[in-house]
Structure 1
Amino acid sequence: MDAAQRVALTVAAQLFAGGGPRPASLHGPGLIAIGSSLSLGRERALNSAAELDLAARAIPALDALAHLDGEDRRRLAARTRRRFGAPEDPGAPGALDGWLASGTAAVIAGEFRLAAVPVAVEAACASSLAALDLAVGALRSGTARYAIAGGVELACNVRDLILCSSLGLLSHSKITPFDEAADGFSPGDGCALFLLKRHSDALADGDRILGVIRGVGGSNDAHSLIAPDRGGQARAMRQAFGDAGFGPDTVDYLEAHGTGTRVGDRVELSAVTDVYGGGERRRPLQVGSAKSFFGHTFAAAGAAGLLRVLLALQARTFPPNANLGTISPELDLDAIPAFIDRRPAPWPAGGPRPRRAALSSFGTGGINYHVLIEEHPDGVS
């Protein structure tokens, strides 16, 4: 099996073992929407293997290896060829699912005997929230009674590291979202999956509800392949609030995209200022990024952020940010106002309203998603 599919199956087993509904109890039409890269492990390995001749020629000329003599460089080139040689036969029996991004959802449906349509969703680093949007739409329209949504990506591979390096996106040390020393991101491998139902169905089924999705907004700024756009991100946020029916000044916590690139963090907080600033906020908006702990998980990034939001609601605690030394002066937090904390802090009750959080995920090509989540009164035990 493809490594990403093994991880997703493991996480799906954890999903059903976590005290929620068992697979056998999920009746009616369903949907499994997995945010994923369309190139799974085998294809990426073949892509790397195809570049071995180029690597073998380049290694002897690298300035960083100037201290090695010719024989040592030849041995290094030979070792590289052995280490990253062609993977298993792509035509081997059972390899088909490993070439199909939708195969991840399909093996989950098959393993747990779910009558659910399995699909893959590719929207770059916004893939998980695009999958969530698809699931919410199916539930609202009635074409599905339940949905499994989330994302999986094993971003720490040769091809993607070289690609991100060539684009100047990688940090030279470690990912530090919102810090004045931020110089890029560090990739991370990850997977998170969620079981979704309409609120009325979850109540009728006696399910434990961890959170309620109140609004989903999506947009495309269509200006650049990789440069973020303030206006496009703000449009996604406003669309989510139009869906939710409440205002930005009632949101307590924002799980930001927070990649640790200076321009990305600055543009994102500027868009947040446009939407969240200027209201009658009772306390500063808390801002955080899960990427500060385990890096940018690409297609799984939105799912990682949603997982952190749900855990924070359960714990009634604002989550901390790692690797934060000095907050970048380019971020005008006072205009919101907002606060980025290094340590966990109590999440006080919102008075007559429930605790509310927001989640952003932005992808290459100008894809922007913003999701609004509300605690359920009985969701904390």
Structure 2
Amino acid sequence: MTHQAVAVRPPPSYRDGNVLRWLAGFGVSLVGDQVYFVALAWTATQVAGAGAAGLVLATASVSRLVLLLLGGAAVDRWGARRLMLGSDALRCAVMAAAAVATATAEPALAVLVVVALVFGAVDAVFLPAVGALPPYLVAAEHLARLQGMRMTLARGAIVAGAPLGGAIVAAYGIAAAFALNALTFAVSVLALAAVRVRPGVVTKPAAGSGRSRGMGKEVRAGLAVAARSPLLRTILLVSAVAELGFTGPFNVGIALLAQERGWGAAGMGLIVGGFGVGAALAAVAVAVLGHLPRAGLLVGPLAVVTGGALAGIGFAPARLWAVAASLLLGVSVGLAGALGTALLQAQTPPQYLGRVMSLSSLAGFGGIPVSYAITGLAAGRWGTAAVFLGGTALAATAGLVALASQALRRAVLSVAR
């Protein structure tokens, strides 16, 4: 009697318990991140003024950015899952220690700087570790759907976490906010500990790598992999340029525009809210559609649309038009972000995922201070309209770079891993 093998297909991502546990752990940690940053900025402002808040947040950002590449190399050397759990547990411990320190004495600027410095350093490991895990959970053709689900959670975390952090620190103080952080990170660790890598996925180090090789060489090897791949280097370049053009005009330019046009804080809130709605719609659309085989072909046009939407906000004749342009901006940025990240993960050799994801984080975060500085300079010298024109030019440039890359135009998400 002949027995025929029956292929067992994994459940869809939205019904895969393993994926849902990863999303739950990641989502709870994102809420904790929002509570942490709001509480830290508010308390620093109360302790030593607005300049101190900038110093504390800059310390957190710089320590994270400086160590990201080393964090990515560590992830590839010791494993994404192991370092994801270890760094998340350490984040919990840092927040618990900060809660004790600020509960037993008045918050001091030095304490806040140390907390920001240590937490930023631990985040430099957690970000590439948790970001590298999706290809170990689902096949390449399902990465876009998973990224859409992740982005939906990220938008929800901002909506829920930031007000929660503000309410907690205003009512009970920063020690309570830090204690809440410790609790959210503990829940995150428990959820992520239940996540398992799907069978058959290679997680061993690349040939020639290992503990005998220095971390500096590991970092250089990751940079070389990204530089040699026309697809990877194009995605990273497009992401960095588009982020440079988007961040300053959106986070600083909209506030200046609302003040200049007399729209007030309410008008600014509506414009930012329009972006949030658009980004959420994009995330849900990607999560529902799931299979997008010609994803690479969409990245360039989406970047061009981002530039057009920025111009639409900057030159809107009325507040309603600015809100509509901001909604379009949210859709284009959301779709491009989900597709770009999914392509990056699908096309990166598994043993280099940590390092490439750390480069992706650098592309996203590294240009933020530069974008803010350019925005302030341009607004002061040429006016608010110049800010949005500059953002439009950078986003359009990113789109043209993407469209000029044959590797990106032909990139698909149906490659078997």
Verify same fold: TM over 0.5. Answer: no
Q: Quick one: higher RCO (CA 8 Å, sep 6+), 1 or 2?
A: 2
- Relative to its length, the structure with more strand (as a share) is 1
- Relative to its length, the structure with more helix (as a share) is 2
**TM-score normalised by length of structure 1:** 0.25
